[in-house]
Structure 1
Amino acid sequence: MSGSFTVVCMYDYHSISLSSFEMLALNVLLLSLIMLALYKGESRLDSDSPWAMLSLLAVFGISSRILLDPLPNIQPVTMLVLVVGIYFGGWRAIALAGVIAWTSNAIALGHGPWTLFQALGWGAVGLLGASLSGFLREGDRLMVGRLAFVSAASAFLFDWTVSLSILLDASTSMIIPYLINGLAFDLYHAAGNVAFVAWMAAPLGDMILRHSEIPASEAVSEVAPN
């Protein structure tokens, strides 16, 4: 008995290596479990608690960035911030964008000046969602087809905003070549956003709606001048 115990204890499970595909499959599985836990846990929240809902969404956004980092510019944060802008308005989407960008970079992905541009990029996407709330939402229902189109365009809005960070260490003449060189990654981001809309947007919208206190017609009023 003790010999079996010694063999088990001496076996280093952390030494097990996975291929890139196997690691990606594991990360997608973990992200799906987090999404399921978010969906189940949300039902226990106070319906008058939008900040608690935003905290859960922040955990999901941070986790998704870290787990899907091996993929080329593909993660659901852009879609998530866009949907939050639609339901919660611009300011809360900006807050969520900043928390996700800073926390995920500080924990795992690398923090630096680019974090500010990522927060600005996702904040701009949140404002876009708020400004188009009446177009992307009819009553309580998300217009998924329209959302897919806007989420694809949002990929370019975010990526090009982040690309401005090169101006911290390069001349303005480098911007156009840099944007052209990154077009393939922009297209990956756009395609990923469309896939995430098809996969997640409807259940996310239903969850957020139960904690939203901002009507669609007023979502943009927080950031737009009268």
Structure 2
Amino acid sequence: MYDFHNIALAPAETLLLNAAILSVIVFALLKAERRLDENSGWIMLALLAVFAFAGRILFEPLPNIQPVTLIVLLAGIYLGSPRAFALAGVVALSTNVLVLGHGPWTLFQVIGWGAVGCSGALLADRLLIEGELQLNRVAALAFISGFTFNWIVSSSILLKTDPAMLAPYLLNGLLFDLYHAVGNLVFAAWMAAPIGDMLLRHSIAPTSETVSEIVTN
């Protein structure tokens, strides 16, 4: 028998393959969403969770590059901070427990992505104007969010090390932070518009008031 499945791919070939798979998932997600009733926010959130899970796993070979940050940001803009925080928790926990490795850092990832979602909800009035997603502003916030998320996650070292080690640790990781930020720009250019159009049909029109729901409820 021919072992056609025993094929070694170069890193660039793996990247192209995974990008193609993710594109197929995006297409399937858009098709599935068309069959949903309007304002099916929680079902939409579940679809986003599946997409974010797949995206994080597919791009795991790349250093600090994955679509989760952008997806959570868009969820905050369109669905509000509570749902974005829920999405952050589901994606971080499921991917870490099932594939990437679970530990105290998972909590910091939830907090980091949750903060990204809250920033999207807080700035929704400036990022989504009359139903039109402001792509340049979203891309800029996604870029900044790459650094913000990484710094929050990096602070998990304080659980076991002296606080004096935090600054050198952050400086040492700046290149990987930049990878994350630039990756977010690419994902924003690639998929922010189609995912935004999809989410608009299920939007709860979040404003800065929705951010307080996490604290008060």
Q: TM-score, normalised by structure 2?
A: 0.94
The CA deviation at 1:194 is: 1.2
Letter in 1 for 2:195: L
Structure 1 residue 53 corresponds to structure 2 residue 79? no
The CA deviation at 1:24 is: 1.6
Structure 1 unpaired stretches of 5+: 1-9
In the superposition, relative to structure 1, how do residues 67 and 118 fare at CA in structure 2: closer, same or farther (>3 Å)?
same
Once the two structures are superposed, the pairs formed by residues 100-115 of structure 1 within 5 Å of their partners are: 100-115=91-106
Look up the match of 1:166: 157
Q: TM-score, normalised by structure 1?
A: 0.91
The CA deviation at 1:45 is: 1.2
Q: Secondary structure at the match of 1:13?
A: coil
Q: Counterparts of 1:200 and 1:218 in 2: how far apart (Å)?
A: 27
Look up the match of 2:184: 193
Once the two structures are superposed, the pairs formed by residues 61-76 of structure 1 within 5 Å of their partners are: 61-76=52-67
Look up the match of 1:153: 144
Once the two structures are superposed, the pairs formed by residues 35-46 of structure 1 within 5 Å of their partners are: 35-46=26-37
What's the Cα RMSD here? Answer: 1.5
CA contact (8 A) 1:118 1:158 kept: yes
CA contact (8 A) 1:89 1:222 kept: no
The CA deviation at 1:224 is: 7.0
> Cα deviations across residues 128-147 of structure 1 (Å, max 9, x unaligned)?
11111111110211111111
CA contact (8 A) 2:121 2:208 kept: no
The CA deviation at 1:48 is: 2.9
Look up the match of 2:22: 31
Q: Counterparts of 2:70 and 2:209 in 1: how far apart (Å)?
A: 20
CA contact (8 A) 1:75 1:189 kept: yes
Letter in 2 for 1:125: V
In the superposition, relative to structure 1, how do residues 215 and 175 fare at CA in structure 2: closer, same or farther (>3 Å)?
closer
Provide the identity percentage: 57
Match of 1:143 among 116, 131, 134: 134
Q: Secondary structure at the match of 1:12?
A: coil
Structure 2 unpaired stretches of 5+: none
Structure 1 residue 88 corresponds to structure 2 residue 88? no
Q: Secondary structure at the match of 1:27?
A: helix
The CA deviation at 1:222 is: 2.8
The CA deviation at 1:91 is: 0.5
Look up the match of 1:6: none
Would you say how many aligned residue pairs link Structure 1 and Structure 2?
A: 216
> Cα deviations across residues 161-201 of structure 1 (Å, max 9, x unaligned)?
00011112211011000000000111111111111111111
Q: Counterparts of 2:88 and 2:31 in 1: how far apart (Å)?
A: 23
Moved more, 46-55 or 57-66: 46-55
In the superposition, relative to structure 1, how do residues 136 and 224 fare at CA in structure 2: closer, same or farther (>3 Å)?
farther
